[in-house]
Each structure stands twice: as C-alpha cells, then as structure tokens.
Chain A
Amino acid sequence: MTTSIKPAAKPSAAPARRGRPAKIGGTRLAVLLMLGPALVAILFFRLVPAFEAIRTSLSDPQGPFAAYDRVFADPAFQASVRQTLLFTVLVNPFQIMLALALAVLLTQRLPLVGLWRTLIFLPAALPQVVSAIIWGVLFRPDGPLNAVLNALGLPHQPFLTSKFQALPGIIILVSWVGVGYWMMFLIAGLKDIPGDTLEAAKIDGAGPLRTFFQVTLPQLKRPLLFVLVADTIANFLVFAPVETLTAGGPDRSTNLIMYDIYERAYVAGDLPAASAETFILLCIILAVVSIQFKLLPSED
C-alpha cells in the first residue's frame, strides 16, 4: 500500500469490476451499484482534491521540487515530524488502554450503565473549538486544575506554557474527547464475545485476570485493530486544540504536522509547500498503518 496505488486507482478500477465472470447472476451489476457510489465519492471528494494537491505541490514557481526542498529544510517542519511521532507513540496506547479499561468496566452489570457510557461518550460529540476553549480555561495557571492541585498540596503547574507539559496537555485534551468514542466500539466488541467461551474459562477455574488476557483479549483482536488504526489516523489529524491554545508552541513542542500544514496553507498562503507537506503526512500515515497491520495479524 504505497503511493503507486493512487495513480493506478482510476484506470484499473474499471477493468477489475467489469472484466470477471459472475459467480451469481447479477453480481457484476450488484457490485457496480453497491460499490459504485462509494467509489464515485472517493474519486470526487478525496482523490480529485488529492491529485490537485499533488499537482500544486509540484508547481512551485521556483521549480517542481522546490516546495519539497523548502519543507524539508524548514526547522518548523522538522520539529513537527518529531513532535507528531512522539505524540503518536504516546497518545495511541494511552487512549486505547483507557478505552479498553472503560469498556471492560462499563460492560459489568452495574446500575445505570447506559448513563455512564453516554456521559463518557459525550465529549466526542462536542465541536472541536469548544473542547479546546473549555480546556484552555482549565489549564490556565490560575485556573481550576491548578486550584485542585493546590488543594491537594501539590505545586502549581505551568501546563500549556511549559514546553514539557504542553504536549501532554494536548494529549489529555484529545483523550478526554476521544476515549469515550473508542470505548463504544470496544464495548460492542466485548459484547460479541460468546458467553460459552467465558463460561468454559470459568469452569476451568480461571480467575478474572487470566480470563481477560487469555480468552477475552484474543477475541477482541479485530475490534482492537480497528480502533487502533482508526485512532492512529484520527490522531495524526489533530490540530484544532493546537490552533486555539498553543499555536504550535511553546518552542514548537506542540507543532503537530496537521497544524503546520494548516498554517502553511492558510496563514502563509504557501500552497505548494502545504500540499507537499500534506503528501508527506499521507505517506507517514500509510507507513504507520501498514506497520500496524503487519504487527497485528488479522484477516486482511
């Protein structure tokens, strides 16, 4: 799964659909009608703009690869690659473990479990700007979080004004938003586990922990992989909190790639470089997702 797919997609999609013998009468037609709209949507709403973007990235007045040179030489970009990778490595395991823990917790027979699930999911439904504003207030040096710390006798924290705490702060923010969302999928996955398997484990005398690791977790592989991939991709696209709260700082510590692209495109108006960086981001995402697929064996 690399860039060669994109240019190949358009021409070969057609022959692949039409050129094969029908297994059942009407399969070809069914595939066309069922898959067609989605493919048209991808073509028109994703691939065409993507091609546009690639074309733009190669059309810098200073030469076809000038935009790429500029991007790679830019200290801000270099920082954004570092910080984004760091962010990815930290936020994804954190969110997924938390989501899994919550999913396990909330599939126990507890009173009002539907209410807890809904309330934990709710932050995901807020507009991004709003979550950012709310947390911006919470993280204020004279704000409620520090007030809580003070009440517990802990020292005052700089949070978003410190280049060491800013990225963790963003991680907490996006996790607050996202964990409930991913938890829902894991809950669905947990509920799909057949009761008999668990009963069998119980009969074998397995305690809850062993059951979890040896029975439950393997059954959760597919939903977990799904959540991992989707969450990873979503986290590569984080930028609203950065734009609202930190502008990539302090000291570029929160200069995530998506934000860097956004600035390049919309503030500097440097479209060739922004498009180049988009393409680079896409390659990074594909690479990471491919690695995830390889490391976590699952069908397809």
Chain B
Amino acid sequence: MPLLIGLTTTACFGPIPHGGGSGGGVTLQFVGAQPDGYFDKAIAAFEKANPGIKVKYVSNPASQLSQVLQARLGGKDSSIDAFTADEPKIPSMADRGFLLPLDDLKDEAGKQVSAEAVRATTFDNKLYALPLWTSTALLYYNKDLLKKAGIADPAKATDQRLSWEQLTADAKKAQAGGAQYGFAFEQPGRYYQLEPLIRSAGGGTGLSGAKNLTPAIQDRGWKKALTFYQGLFKKGITPKGIQYTQLPSLFANGKIAYFLANTPSIAIFQKNPKLKFGVAPSPTFAGGKPATPTDSWALAVSPYSRHQAEARKFISFLSLNEAGAALSGQDIARIPANKHAYAAWSQLIDAAGPELAGTSKLIADELSRTAVKRPSSIGYTDFESVVNKMIDNIGNGGDVNGSLTDGQSQLVNTLGRFGT
C-alpha cells in the first residue's frame, strides 16, 4: 500500500482537465472523438464571448464514440449537450431521435459553409447538424522510391490524374526497384475508401430505392472495383493484415511507394524528416468518372439536453462563426467546411511544406467536382458495417462473387427491420 501511494504520487499528476464549477452559469458537456484539449482554443474564445456559459469537453476514443452515444442518448441521458456526429450516420441518428433539428439555422448555414457540407448534414429536408469539416483523398508518393525505380512523379493537375491501371503498373515497378510495398490504402476494408473506386467503375452507391434502404451491391461496378481491390493484395502490392492505424507510419518510414490517404496523415509523414513525399490526385479507372470520398464530422445538439439554447450557440460558434471555425480546426489535418476558415486553411496547407505547394487547389477541385457522398439512409450504419466486413473478406482472398452475394443477402436481412 505505501508502495502504491508512493508510485502514484511520483507518477505524473498532470493537469486534470476539469471543467470548472458553474457558479450561476451554465456548463455544457460536449462529447467528441477528438483528443483531450483539441477544442481548448475554440472553447476559450467561446467562453470569453459568452460569459455565463462554460463548456466541458469530454473525449471518447473514436472507435467507441458511436457506442457511447448510442448508450447514453439511447438512454435519454440528459448530461450530454453537444457532440460530434459523423456525417454519414446523421440520417440514422436522426431516425433514432438523437439529433435536435436546427432548421432555423439553415439560412445562416447556407451562407457560412459550403453547399456540399450543408447537404451532408441535412436529412429529410431538415438540418440536423452543423458541419465542421470535410475530407478528401490524395495520392501521396515517396519521391525517393519512385526515383530509384525510374518512375516520373505523377502530375498534380486533376486532369492528369493516374488511372488505377497505370498506378498498379507503377507500384509494381517501384517494388521491383526496392520498395517493400507498391501501394496502400489508408483505410483498407472501409466503404469510405472503396466507394470512389466503385463509383468510378460505374457502380452505384450500394443502396437504392426511394429511401435508400434497398441493397444493390452486385452491379458491374462493384464487381470490377472489388476484384481490382483484391488483386492488389494478391499481387503483393498492398500489405495484408496490418491494422489501418499502423499504415501511415509504414509510409512515413519509407516502406510504401504510393499511399492513398486523407489530410491528417500529413502530420505523421512530416514527423520523419528523411521522408520526401509528393502529392497527386486520387486515381480513377480508365474510362470512368473520377471520384473521391468526402464528408467528415459535424456538430449536433442532443434533444435531451437541458441547455439546448446554449448548446446551439456553442455549435454555431464553432461552425458558423468565422473566428470560431478557424480555431476549431487549428491545423492542416482538417479541411474546414466553413468558407472563411477554408480560405485561411488553404494558405496554411500550401505553406506547410515544399511538397504541399498547390495542394489547396487540388483539394478544391476534388471537393467541387469529384466528391461522391455516402448514401443518405437511416440504414447507413448497418449497411456500412456489413459492407466493411465484406470488403475486408475480399481483401483477405474471399471469392468476390460469393462475397457479394453473401453480403447482399445479409443486407436484405439486416435492412429488413426498417420495412421498405
């Protein structure tokens, strides 16, 4: 026992992230998937502008956030006031009654954030959340590995993007030239990462019908994209069986020649000063329409909150207020949905490193022209869960047609509970 006390006293009594007492004012509980302290600056600015309202941020590990929200909001827990909502899950959350409609903020939202972002948080014509960020995928490449294999750097212009076929050939060449892996996805086994391939191969989103509750994953586009996906693993171009969180470091350590990833990974790459990387647009299938993934996190208010007015003020500050939006992003990792913040962010990312010059133009092009959204459906969470597992299976070598048939019947069963 004395040993224990000794141990803990010497161990690190760092700052307790306590939200201070409220004293007569209101203290909001804001739950999100970002690390502790991420929103400190934005919260401080908000509290300054709104004396009487304090905000306590509670971080939940990203993988657990939806479970925690399900448990607490499903239990009508009144202690959560505001929280981050994953945009594609918004229809499903609205259906479960977890989101307070924010229609009176629609006009303001239309003015302050991009139109695509507003679409991402609207369901059934109601606005259910205020967008924080959006996303897109970029093709990062290791300059040294390409040089060793004698491959020219891919162009940055979106009209000169590589085809998947060309990329495969180049990746193999890079491996012949010494790279351990030719290519990797940042999020293998995820619908988010595969949807653009499926769409550019001519496939549909996977859900059809008026309410997007009818599964349709066996069209030619799905087959082509998933067969191609499986091929990358089979040919040893893409590493198998590595947890996706460990992949960015693999690229940062110079083991992968081409890496399809979002913007937050840049921070990891820059940690290795020896890595020389470049940025190019996402590939597309030859003859297909280019597609990139998009959408990210938004802010919502709980209908069980006892401080809804204050909570709405808070999320409006972070999303619609120019100063607030700038503070809630902070770094080049997150692409702000707010128009003003986005302009500032563009300059930030272009200046963030020699290899990143001109990236903001690339991203702007992708966001406006090639971004494909995930299907808006109250069954999206179920859909994504089944499809992710199926994609993973296929990546591990399962028969493509068999897996698609199996996935289809699984989806029919799972989505059946929504009626049609």
Contact = CB atoms under 8 A, between A and B. Distances in A.
Interface of A: 60, 62, 66, 70, 73-76, 136-137, 139-142, 158-163, 245, 247-252, 262-263, 265-271, 273
A280 to B, nearest CB: 16
B413 A263 contact: no
Contacts of B239: 141-142
A252 B392 CA distance: 11
14 contacts: A136-B243, A140-B246, A141-B239, A158-B241, A160-B241, A161-B396, A162-B396, A163-B396, A252-B389, A265-B70, A266-B67, A267-B382, A268-B414, A269-B381
A159 B239 CA distance: 14
A72 to B, nearest CB: 10
Contacts of A161: 240-241, 396-397
Q: Is the interface of B mostly helix, strand, loop or mixed?
A: helix
B66 A141 contact: no
A140 B241 contact: yes
Given A250-B397, A250-B398, A266-B70, 9 more contacts: A62-B417, A75-B410, A142-B242, A158-B396, A159-B241, A247-B392, A251-B393, A252-B389, A269-B70
A158 B233 CA distance: 12
Given A247-B389, A250-B393, A269-B70, A73 B242 contact: no
A162 B414 CA distance: 25
A70 B417 CA distance: 8
Given A75-B406, A250-B393, A140 B417 contact: no
A117 B249 CA distance: 37
Interface of B: 66-67, 70-71, 74, 92, 96, 239-243, 246, 381-382, 385, 388-389, 392-393, 396-398, 406, 409-410, 413-414, 416-417, 419
Contacts of B241: 139-141, 158-161
Contacts of A162: 396
A267 B392 contact: no
Nearest to B410: A75
A73 B240 CA distance: 32
B393 A270 contact: no
A75 B70 contact: no
Contacts of A262: 67
A266 B70 CA distance: 6
Nearest 10 pairs of A and B residues by beta carbon: A266-B67, A161-B241, A250-B396, A141-B241, A161-B396, A268-B382, A266-B70, A161-B240, A251-B393, A74-B413
A126 B145 CA distance: 40
Nearest to A265: B70
Contact of B381 (A139, A247, A252, A268): A268
A271 B74 contact: yes
A74 B386 CA distance: 12
A73 B381 contact: no
Given A163-B396, A250-B396, A75 B243 contact: no
Contacts of A267: 66-67, 70, 381-382, 385
A136 B74 CA distance: 32
Contacts of A270: 382, 417
Contacts of A74: 410, 413-414
Given A160-B241, A268-B382, A247 B66 contact: no
Contact of A73 (B392, B413, B419): B413
Contacts of B397: 161, 250
A58 B100 CA distance: 28
A22 B184 CA distance: 74
A125 B160 CA distance: 55
Contact of A251 (B67, B242, B246, B398): B398
B409 A75 contact: yes
B207 to A, nearest CB: 15
Contact of A245 (B243, B409, B414): B243
Contacts of A66: 417
A75 B413 contact: yes
